[in-house]
Structure formats: C-alpha cells, structure tokens
Amino acid sequence: MAAGLTIWDASGNIVLDASHRTLRIIDSVVLDGSNGSRSDPSMVSGGFVSFQSDRYIGWLSGGLIHPQFSFNNGTLTWTYSAKNSAQYDEYQTGILFYGAY
C-alpha cells in the first residue's frame, strides 16, 4: 500500500508530492553536551536528525561546540569535540528529534 502526501492546487497541479520518502519521528532526547547513541531497527535503511539548539551564541572569546551526528546499521551516534578552552568553550545543548524514512 502506498503511503505519503500529495497536494494539488485549485487547477489540479501537484504542489507537493511527498509519497516517496515519508519521515517518521521515532523519539526525542535532550542533549546536554555528553556523547551518546540510540538504536532502532527501523533506522537501518536510513534516518534523519533535527537538532533544536537552546542558544546560538556562546562566549565572544570562546567557541560553541555543536554535536556531530552519524548513522551506522540502525544506530544514531552523536559526539562532541574536545574543548580547546575549558574556561570559554561551551557545548551546544538542545533537543534532538530523530527518525526513519
């Protein structure tokens, strides 16, 4: 059975056809600056992330270190690089939404 969303305008023209790869949110997790991972068998064929950060500006003399995301065989992993300056560098925190196609 086909799944997705198709929207037409008043003239019958397709304005959105999202029937090929429909996204499904599996879960969300609050990222606090620590490395971590989540596994789900439905992410084996691919997945997506949407990271909603708490803030966009760090110290003017330091850096804001954002998480790096990767998928491998149904496991989503996020890692943070090491701080260059313990005094001024900050880890980007926020909410991570993740799912599968």
The answer to whether the Cα torsion of 26, 46, 70, 39 is positive or negative is positive
C-alpha distances out from residue 3 to 6, 16, 26, 86, Å: 10, 14, 17, 49
Instruction: Identify whether the C-beta of residue 37 lies closer than 8 Å to the C-beta of residue 76.
Output: yes
Cα-based angle 16, 17, 19 (whole degrees, multiple of 5): 145
Instruction: Identify whether the C-beta of residue 33 lies closer than 8 Å to the C-beta of residue 82.
Output: no
Whole-prediction pTM: 0.73
Residue-wise pLDDT for 18-74, tens only, equals 766 667 899 999 999 999 999 999 899 878 999 999 877 655 666 888 999 999 999
